[in-house]
Chains A and B, each alone.
Chain A
Amino acid sequence: MSRGVVFQGGGTGLKIGSVEQDAASADVFDLLFNSDIQPLRLMGTGYVAVPSLRAYNWSPVWAEKSSALITTPSGTYPLFIVAGKQSGYGGTGYLQTPIHTGSLGFGAVITSNRELWGLNFSRDIGEPWQVDAIVNYCILKNYG
């Protein structure tokens, strides 16, 4: 029966102090994340304001590009967590995790070149303008 802890080698950037330890006999410090190899650190937090749609059809021109993305070292990956405040008609809205219903929603996508694009699927009806959705995010980075 194997009780080995194999945490790297599968492509993950997460690292423990020493690989392939037997959990039953290993030194406890070899099973902790090595302090010299921090697996993840908070790189930054932010938000981007995204206008509501003025038409039925969604297209990339309605996305709002964030500049929050920072070049990360080769072989490491930024992770993203997103929350936000949906559009509304002035004085409404509160922070929540992204929602996507049949008629509205907001969130963000990460593009292949590591840009974050905020999305807002709320559509203005008639002339009234909705306030922008606020898409929050934080960026975690594996510093390898």
Chain B
Amino acid sequence: MALYAIHDESGKIKQANKIFAPTAAYEQQLRDLGQSFAVDPTAMLLSPDDWYVDVAGGALTERPTLPVVAVRTKIKAGGGDRGVLIGVPKAGKVTITTGGMVLFQDTPGATELEIPIPVPCVYRVAIALWPYRTYVAEIEAFA
């Protein structure tokens, strides 16, 4: 039994295959396809949201956590009230969605985000920076 984690040049896992009776032919098949992979004899199927391959060491590694803190997540809609996140990495890509629709996606380059919401709803704020886990917070605006 072995887990094959196939990754790109940054170590992001693009495929993972848990093979219960691995053979040399299977590993050769991966090499023939030109794929980079790490092998772990005991790991179960690992989510790419939480794990990556440390390319230098060639080992499966847990993705670290971003030091973001949502200090204000319930605000009054409209007016001057704002949701506040601190500890945002300047290189982090911020994506704000509501109801699955994207409202904003960019790299603001700030360590603190202030987010006003014009109408009562929930904003989902995701901050992505490789190889950290994507940070997600919800900010709710009430009437």
Chain B residues contacting A47 (CB-CB under 8 Å) are: 15-16, 45, 48
Interchain nearest-CB distance for B15 vs A (Å): 5
Q: Is there an interface contact between A45 and B18, defined as CB atoms closer than 8 Å?
A: yes
Q: Choose from B16, B102, B136 the contact partner of A46 (Cβ within 8 Å).
A: B16
A45-B126 contact in complex given A71-B25, A90-B134, A92-B100, C-beta closer than 8 Å: no
Question: Are B95 and A128 closer than 8 Å at their CB atoms?
Answer: yes
Q: Which residues of A lie under 8 Å from residue B20 when comparing CB positions?
A: 41-44
Within the complex, the shortest CB–CB distance from A52 to chain B, in Å, comes to 12
Q: How large is the interface on B (under 10, 10 to 19, 20 to 34, 35 or more residues)?
A: 20 to 34
Residues of the B chain whose Cβ atoms lie less than 8 Å from the Cβ of A26: none
Task: Give B24 Cβ to nearest chain A Cβ, in Å.
Answer: 12
A92 and B19 CA atoms in complex are apart in Å by: 29
Q: Is the CB of A89 within 8 A of B97?
A: yes
Question: Which residues of A are found within 8 Å of B45, using beta-carbon distances?
Answer: 45-47
Which of B29-37, B53-61, B70-78, B111-119 is near enough to bind chain A? B29-37
Q: How far is it, in angstroms, between the C-alpha of A68 and the C-alpha of B2 when the chains are bound?
A: 13
Query: B100 and A89: CB pair below 8 A?
Result: yes
B interface footprint on A44-69 (CB within 8 Å = 1, 0 otherwise): 11111100000000000000111110
User: Is A16 an interface residue, CB under 8 A from the partner?
Assistant: no
Q: Do A91 and B15 form a contact, CB below 8 Å, given A47-B45, A134-B48?
A: no
B90 at the interface (CB under 8 A from A): no
CB within 8 Å for A68 and B100 given contacts A47-B45, A91-B124: no
B107 at the A interface (CB under 8 A): no
Contact between chains at B17 and A68 (CB < 8 Å): yes
Q: Which residues of A lie under 8 Å from residue B48 when comparing CB positions?
A: 47, 49, 134
Q: Which residues of B contact A (CB under 8 A)?
A: 6, 12-21, 23, 25-26, 29-30, 33, 35, 45, 48, 93, 95, 97, 100-102, 105, 124-126, 128, 134-136
Q: Can you give 15 A-B contacts (C-beta < 8 A)?
A: A45-B18, A46-B17, A46-B45, A49-B12, A67-B6, A67-B30, A88-B97, A89-B97, A89-B102, A90-B97, A90-B126, A90-B128, A91-B135, A92-B124, A128-B102
Q: List 20 additional A-B contacts (Cβ < 8 Å) besides A70-B26, A128-B105.
A: A44-B17, A45-B45, A46-B15, A46-B45, A47-B15, A47-B16, A49-B14, A64-B14, A67-B29, A70-B19, A70-B23, A70-B25, A71-B29, A89-B126, A90-B95, A90-B128, A91-B95, A91-B134, A92-B97, A128-B102
